[in-house]
Amino acid sequence: MHPAPSVIVFTTLSGLGFGLLFWLGLGLPAVTGWVAFAFFAIGYALAVGGLMASTFHLGHPERAWKAFSQWRSSWLSREGVCAVAALVLMALYGAGLVFFDERLALLGWLGSALSLATVFTTSMIYAQLKTVPRWKTPLTPALLIAISLAGGALLAGQVSTALILIPIAGVLQILWWVRGDGAFKASGTDMATATGLGHIGAVRAFEPPHTGPNYLLRELVFQVGRKHALKLRGIAFGLGYAAPVLLLLVPFSHALAVIAVIAHVAGIAASRWLFFAEAEHVVGLYYGKR
């Protein structure tokens, strides 16, 4: 699928932001006053900035508010509801820390739970799609949650926790890639199942649906060469997982911590690009892409 920059920014930054808010809600790090304000400002800038970036991929961004009305059936709506609830509760919790030096623990715990729920609902937007076999797996929410928690711990300065969570996220990333490479074939989807005409015998396309480009070809039949994908996987894993762990294992310095965060964000952004670029939508069958 076409890796739109707005969606890459959204999934990368919002996951990191809500991951940081998760740890802040648990009181980690234990900060108050203007130090707390700085941490919450970073968390909100990432979370809200990511959410705002997602609206640029909509055909009519001004109608984004309508997404909230379908929370009973839509993971997108559930994401919006969870995100707003998490941001409101964490704002109240943060205000207590910044202005009154008071830790309203219950608000923090609820805000943490809703922050994690926001990441989960985001992941389920993709994990529910039968039309993209690479995404439809429990590994998708597991991976996105692990990355969010690991990146949040890194930003929150929880070094020992990050040293555990980043390798876990790295293992899940590898498992997700390995499983995904055979997902389309394992799904048993072909032209016969996609059209529902398998009962009449072998099914093949007589000719392409059309010769000119259209929305489906631009958005859902994007292809990336395997050679380039492998290089990007190496970059994503090296920057997103290996480099932060190595930088955290050496004697601590704020400069190295900043480099570790930058490397992690760059690596996760690369993995997000691949998340979309390698996702084979079944509509590609109609254009002879499988």
pLDDT attached to residue 16:
98
pLDDT attached to residue 198:
75
Domains, in order of start, for the chain: 5-287 (1.20.1630.10)
pLDDT in tens, 105-132: 999 999 999 999 999 999 999 999 998 9
Question: Per the structure block, which two tokens stand in for 256?
Answer: 């190295």
Q: Dihedral sign for Cα 81, 269, 1, 64, please.
A: positive
Q: Is the pLDDT of residue 257 over 80?
A: yes
Q: Of the candidates 124, 142, 110, which has an alpha carbon nearest to the alpha carbon of residue 21?
A: 110
Question: Per the structure block, which two tokens stand in for 64?
Answer: 């984004």
E runs forming strands in 25-143: none
Give the burial string for 242-256 (b: 16+ CB within 10 Å, else e): bbbbebbeeeeeeee
Question: Per the structure block, which two tokens stand in for 276?
Answer: 């979309």
Q: Of the candidates 219, 232, 61, which has an alpha carbon nearest to the alpha carbon of residue 131?
A: 219
Q: Is the pLDDT of residue 197 over 80?
A: no
Q: Is the pLDDT of residue 215 over 90?
A: no
- pLDDT category of residue 163 using cuts at 50, 70 and 90: very high
Q: Which residue has the tokens 């959410």?
A: 51
Question: What mean pLDDT comes out for the span 179-183?
Answer: 95
pLDDT in tens, 220-245: 667 675 678 899 999 999 999 999 99
Question: What is the amino acid identity at position 132?
Answer: V
Q: Which residue has the higher pLDDT, 131 or 68?
A: 131
- Give the C-alpha separation, 222 to 114, whole Å: 34
Q: Is the pLDDT of residue 254 over 80?
A: yes
Q: Is the pLDDT of residue 25 over 60?
A: yes
CB 75 within 8 A of CB 117: no
Q: Of the candidates 270, 280, 281, 257, which has an alpha carbon nearest to the alpha carbon of residue 9?
A: 270
Give the H/E segment covering residue 111: helix 105-127
| pTM across the whole model | 0.91
Q: Is the pLDDT of residue 210 over 90?
A: no
Question: Per the structure block, which two tokens stand in for 150?
Answer: 């690991």
